[in-house]
Amino acid sequence: MILAGSPAAAADYAFDFSGTNLFGGQPLSGSGTLTTDDMTVQRNGRDAQKIIGITGTYNGSAITGLNPTIFGADNFYYLTGQFVSGNGLGFNTAAGTNGNLFATVLDQYRVNTVNPFQSGFVKANSSMVTAGAVPEPATWAMMLVGIGMLGYGMRRRAKANLTPSYA
């Protein structure tokens, strides 16, 4: 049997944002994880990765997926500067809300949604999610074989003669 591991095909980034609706004062808040295709491309003069998945919540409702058409969202994660562009990140929620988190000038972010219509400036953050190191299957196999050999050797070792001898 051949055991082989493969490298991760995607990168994950945690995000969160919060602010207030300019039209009514309701809170605008969201958090979750963005998954990218891990292929870096040049967009708007910066390194970026295409967002291929999203999980999380927006105002208490589960985010159900990306929406590439809402407000012209491009759904790219930018590795330097603001983590989304002026086109932004489009998403849908279980409550039927279609939203867009996008960058504005002066390092600000804004959220626009429809159903219901909401709009407001938000404070947004993002960082790479680092997973703990996981040994490859071959490493696990070698470790188990080694432990088995130690156990076998201890079981087969001759018992030491513990009777005292008096000279």
Judge contact between 119 and 22, C-beta under 8 A. Answer: yes
Q: Domain residues for 21? A: 11-128
Domain membership of residue 5 (yes or no) is no
- The helix/strand count (H/E) of the chain reads as 1, 9
Close Cβ partners of 38 (under 8 Å, ≥ 6 residues apart):
8, 9, 10, 11, 49
| 135 assigned to some structural domain | no
Q: Is position 137 within any domain?
A: no
Q: Specify the DSSP element, H or E, that contains 154.
A: helix 137-156
Higher pLDDT, 77 or 24: 77
- Residue 134 lies inside a defined structural domain of this protein: no
Q: 21 lies in a domain? A: yes
Q: What pLDDT sits at residue 53? A: 95
**8 Å CB contact between 73 and 67:** yes
In a domain, 124, yes or no: yes
Between 162 and 42, the higher pLDDT residue: 42
Q: How many domains does the chain have?
A: 1
Decide if pLDDT at 129 tops 80. yes
In angstroms, rounded to a whole number, what is the distance separating the alpha carbons of residues 100 and 153? 63
pTM beyond cutoff 0.85: no
Average pLDDT score over residue span 130-141: 72
Identify whether 15 is part of a domain. yes
